[in-house]
Chains A and B, each alone.
Chain A
């Protein structure tokens, strides 16, 4: 047997729960994440569902998994390789063994390794019994039978008892990391408060798993990871889509503008629509439109009516919206377009992650049609960037495209709930003169922002629209010089926003051999890779990560000029690197691209950095 990779001094651990899609692995993972957070650890999670809504039970295609990395240090990714793999049936083992580190631990429900289940997973021999898992530490737990035994007095049917075996596994893993059960029990009591029998069943199963581990000493010593140094405050776990929805709610409250969300369902953005539909209880005006075009157009109408207006979509939907986004650009009205990217083109890999809509966000409109483009970089900072997108849209009366992706949408991380004063104020500049002095296209001199007037404002009646407008008056005109002037103004207006953006910062070396560049959701993997290399003694690398893409932060060029080499890592065929080349052509940009519908692994980034440094 290989050495056990689990050691009592570990700083961070990756656990993957997997079972049939009916086995409750997502709930198990959620509960474990919750308890990890409460234990003061930082964490990042990612679910992995079967593509089909109802794949055949017990089949490899029907395996549902949930991966979490937690630790006493900052955790930016759900982890490359798994330390502990929990498998509730043979199919889960088959589907997930490739993620497990050599020497990693397998916790298996040995009762489910029946000849029938083995056959469904295409095993000829029982892998728990032959020598095929000798490279790993295998904990064979009779989860099904002991769960049934624990629940026998509750009067439940056989199937209902079996369903609680996920709690048995959770109890076992909880013991493994030396944690008490109380937070989990509270969770169960809350979750099933309307069904007392389920509270009992889940508690009994949880305790059975915990006690099994305790009594049989099958685990050995528990691994207790000291808490991470997290900022003081109240936390919760949040996924990227919920965080985006909540950022908009906060921006609506802080700006005093009602929230209108006009969207059409599309994977992987629909959860934002779902969450805000449920937030009608907070006054959100949610409109499920007949198509993507109607959705963005309705949002434009809502913006003219004076609401904070949002439309959410994914790549194909953004394509459909492009003409209308041009209308928002020329009308100079606030609008946030969220694109939760997936792998394209066309339907592409609709459930997989990619950063390949950057070009579309930057350039995907006819005419010269600049707007603000920004990207979130973790599930929890989706909140900050949706808030910022809303703030910039309203303060500068412009459309803003916020890029997220599948990886951020479904992943979770702990989010510190903002306290009073944490969020920047939203200061929408109003015209200070009277209606007689006002013209529809006069601007605030500092940022060239057109004032946001609309129906209900007495005396300010005016028309917006797609035809070119005369400077100041907003009258229609085909005058050649006017069009050129307005085109320049629209460009300058966006460029001026850079003054408000935070300066681009660098992790690691502030100057030297290599600057590693990322943007959006790859922050976790790149940051972890660079940080680990710095800890390992590499002194010549810096890392800078972009959330603001158009405009870029003002010191971008200066940062680039401090390094000999630049490596741009992104999950597409080099779009950000190409964009940077057009902005700052004097630098050479080495590209590292992964286009597999999968996030970066830390190990891949490290290897590429070493490769760059040595070549």
Chain B
């Protein structure tokens, strides 16, 4: 039976979630910011500390489990979501955070990712997207842009890429957000939103790898270009961007169109993250440079029954109608005979 989440029994601070292990990412790695924000937001969440579970796969991203003073499973390559699914179903009270990378989650773990999105199990999945395999030293990943030189594509990457938001929303994700590693405030907001969302929450962090893809997100996150190149979405607000908020988005035929913003023109679109029909949210997730800015913030947050609750509600219902109180009732049901 699913029980309500127990009360958080003590005030927690960021330090409560810092383990005693030395953090060993490269200096300047975007992962530090993600770790700091996880520790900070965890302390704000309404869960007892012992009910936090961090699950990760393999890769630089996945070391984060050792740095969080929570229960944790540093699992195997690509399988963090599967491990987390079993843990959450076994104990639906847990507040489960999956940390994974673009290689771990979108390549070897792709199957588990799409099925988590489809089921809408209440997991929070943070994908550290540095668009490269870092720990194995620089091979192309499913998100490596065309033309980027890698160890496996020395003349430049030639494979088509995944847009993580497109895959997630296409697979049925009810929550998708994107955030740059350089924007702690937005990251904090997005993590809290993901925490509050009952269902699979996917957060893509545009994370910088200082060794293999240093500056790969610079056009989007750089000081001088970010206003033009980021569309920071807020539910219910007009979708405007540019240094002076001078651009907005409209529909043209079946496509989004960038146009000089006029607040009196009702054809400019407002963001609706809650709309169940994901068509426009998908279009927003897919916007890319140079014709459009890249969407940030909560792109989709739609209500749908979460899998873990459905599973436990169903168990509760069938149990209520069951004539089996104990295994002995089951064993003695049906056709039996006695030997005296």
A219 → B minimal CB distance (Å): 25
Q: Are A260 and B86 in contact (CB under 8 A)?
A: yes
Q: Are B86 and A302 in contact (CB under 8 A)?
A: yes
**A-B pairs with beta carbons under 8 Å apart, 21 shown:** A232-B340, A233-B338, A234-B338, A235-B336, A236-B334, A246-B330, A249-B327, A281-B319, A282-B319, A283-B319, A290-B115, A294-B115, A298-B83, A304-B83, A305-B87, A327-B76, A417-B336, A455-B87, A461-B52, A462-B72, A463-B71
Using known A-B contacts A236-B331, A285-B311, A456-B91, determine if residue A467 contacts B82 with beta carbons closer than 8 Å: no
Q: Mark A291-311, 1 if CB is under 8 A from B, else 0.
A: 101110111111111110100
Choose from B48, B86, B90 the contact partner of A458 (Cβ within 8 Å): B48
B17 → A minimal CB distance (Å): 10
Using known A-B contacts A455-B50, A456-B50, determine if residue A301 contacts B88 with beta carbons closer than 8 Å: yes
Interface assignment of B178: CB less than 8 Å from any CB of chain A: no
Q: Are A280 and B319 in contact (CB under 8 A)?
A: yes
Q: Are B94 and A455 in contact (CB under 8 A)?
A: yes
Using known A-B contacts A290-B115, A297-B86, determine if residue A234 contacts B332 with beta carbons closer than 8 Å: yes
Contacts of B86 in A (CB 8 A): 260, 262, 287, 297-303, 305, 309
CA separation between A247 and B328, bound complex, in Å?
A: 12
Q: Are A291 and B111 in contact (CB under 8 A)?
A: yes
Given contacts A281-B321, A464-B74, 15 further A-B contacts (CB under 8 A): A37-B337, A279-B330, A282-B319, A282-B324, A295-B82, A300-B73, A305-B94, A306-B91, A307-B90, A455-B91, A456-B50, A462-B72, A463-B72, A465-B72, A475-B21
Interface assignment of B136: CB less than 8 Å from any CB of chain A: no
Q: Mark A21-54, 1 if CB is under 8 A from B, else 0.
A: 0000000000000100110100000000000000
Using known A-B contacts A246-B327, A282-B330, determine if residue A294 contacts B85 with beta carbons closer than 8 Å: yes
Q: Report A's interface with B, CB cutoff 8 A.
A: 34, 37-38, 40, 187, 190, 230-237, 246, 249-250, 253, 258, 260, 262, 279-285, 287, 289-291, 293-295, 297-307, 309, 323-324, 326-327, 331, 417-418, 454-467, 475-476
Interface assignment of B279: CB less than 8 Å from any CB of chain A: no
Of the listed stretches B62-70, B99-107, B151-159, B264-272, chain A binds B62-70
Choose from B83, B314, B327 the contact partner of A297 (Cβ within 8 Å): B83
Using known A-B contacts A463-B66, A465-B74, determine if residue A301 contacts B82 with beta carbons closer than 8 Å: yes
CA separation between A289 and B79, bound complex, in Å?
A: 12
Using known A-B contacts A246-B327, A250-B327, A458-B48, determine if residue A287 contacts B339 with beta carbons closer than 8 Å: no
Using known A-B contacts A246-B330, A302-B86, A309-B86, determine if residue A297 contacts B79 with beta carbons closer than 8 Å: yes
Minimal Cβ-Cβ distance residue in A for B322: A281
Choose from B1, B65, B339 the contact partner of A230 (Cβ within 8 Å): B339
Contacts of A455 in B (CB 8 A): 50-53, 71, 87, 91, 94
Interface size grouping (class) on chain B: 35 or more
Contacts of B76 in A (CB 8 A): 297, 323-324, 326-327, 466
Contacts of A309 in B (CB 8 A): 86, 90
Contacts of A190 in B (CB 8 A): 335
Contacts of A289 in B (CB 8 A): 82, 85
Q: Are A294 and B335 in contact (CB under 8 A)?
A: no
Q: Are A280 and B315 in contact (CB under 8 A)?
A: yes
Minimal Cβ-Cβ distance residue in B for A476: B66
Closest 4 CB pairs of A and B: A298-B86, A465-B74, A301-B86, A301-B87
CA separation between A258 and B2, bound complex, in Å?
A: 13
Interface assignment of B296: CB less than 8 Å from any CB of chain A: no
Q: Are A294 and B82 in contact (CB under 8 A)?
A: yes
Interface assignment of B301: CB less than 8 Å from any CB of chain A: no
Choose from B91, B314, B319 the contact partner of A305 (Cβ within 8 Å): B91
A482 → B minimal CB distance (Å): 16
Q: Report B's interface with A, CB cutoff 8 A.
A: 1, 19, 21, 48-55, 58, 65-66, 69-76, 79, 82-91, 93-94, 111-112, 115, 311-312, 314-315, 318-319, 321-322, 324, 326-328, 330-332, 334-340
CA separation between A249 and B73, bound complex, in Å?
A: 27
CA separation between A246 and B334, bound complex, in Å?
A: 14
Minimal Cβ-Cβ distance residue in B for A460: B50
A474 → B minimal CB distance (Å): 10
Contacts of B339 in A (CB 8 A): 40, 230-235
Contacts of B328 in A (CB 8 A): 417
Label chain A's interface by main secondary structure. mixed
Contacts of B318 in A (CB 8 A): 280-281
Contacts of A250 in B (CB 8 A): 327
Number of A-B contacts defined by CB within 8 Å:
203
Minimal Cβ-Cβ distance residue in A for B77: A323
CA separation between A511 and B284, bound complex, in Å?
A: 80
Contacts of A34 in B (CB 8 A): 335, 337
B73 → A minimal CB distance (Å): 6
Contacts of A246 in B (CB 8 A): 327, 330-331
CA separation between A289 and B55, bound complex, in Å?
A: 18
Contacts of B51 in A (CB 8 A): 455-456
CA separation between A174 and B233, bound complex, in Å?
A: 77
Q: Are A465 and B65 in contact (CB under 8 A)?
A: yes
Using known A-B contacts A280-B318, A283-B315, A460-B50, determine if residue A294 contacts B91 with beta carbons closer than 8 Å: no
CA separation between A262 and B76, bound complex, in Å?
A: 17
Choose from A235, A324, A418 the contact partner of B337 (Cβ within 8 Å): A235
A278 → B minimal CB distance (Å): 9
CA separation between A225 and B49, bound complex, in Å?
A: 67
Minimal Cβ-Cβ distance residue in B for A33: B335
Contacts of A475 in B (CB 8 A): 21
Contacts of B321 in A (CB 8 A): 281
Contacts of B335 in A (CB 8 A): 34, 187, 190, 236-237
Minimal Cβ-Cβ distance residue in B for A331: B73
Contacts of B338 in A (CB 8 A): 233-235
Q: Are A304 and B87 in contact (CB under 8 A)?
A: yes
CA separation between A466 and B59, bound complex, in Å?
A: 12
Using known A-B contacts A280-B314, A306-B91, determine if residue A461 contacts B327 with beta carbons closer than 8 Å: no
Q: Are A294 and B79 in contact (CB under 8 A)?
A: yes
Contacts of A459 in B (CB 8 A): 50
Using known A-B contacts A37-B337, A246-B330, A466-B76, determine if residue A302 contacts B87 with beta carbons closer than 8 Å: yes
B287 → A minimal CB distance (Å): 30
Q: Are B331 and A476 in contact (CB under 8 A)?
A: no
Contacts of A236 in B (CB 8 A): 331, 334-337
B336 → A minimal CB distance (Å): 5
Contacts of B49 in A (CB 8 A): 458, 461
A452 → B minimal CB distance (Å): 13
A608 → B minimal CB distance (Å): 35
CA separation between A464 and B324, bound complex, in Å?
A: 37
Contacts of B48 in A (CB 8 A): 458
Q: Are A305 and B50 in contact (CB under 8 A)?
A: no
Contacts of A232 in B (CB 8 A): 339-340
Q: Are A301 and B337 in contact (CB under 8 A)?
A: no
Q: Are A463 and B74 in contact (CB under 8 A)?
A: yes
Contacts of B70 in A (CB 8 A): 461
CA separation between A459 and B70, bound complex, in Å?
A: 10
Minimal Cβ-Cβ distance residue in A for B10: A458
Choose from B58, B73, B88, B326 the contact partner of A463 (Cβ within 8 Å): B73
B24 → A minimal CB distance (Å): 9
CA separation between A457 and B69, bound complex, in Å?
A: 13
B291 → A minimal CB distance (Å): 36
Minimal Cβ-Cβ distance residue in B for A327: B76
Minimal Cβ-Cβ distance residue in B for A298: B86
Minimal Cβ-Cβ distance residue in A for B112: A294
Choose from A187, A326, A456, A460 the contact partner of B93 (Cβ within 8 Å): A456
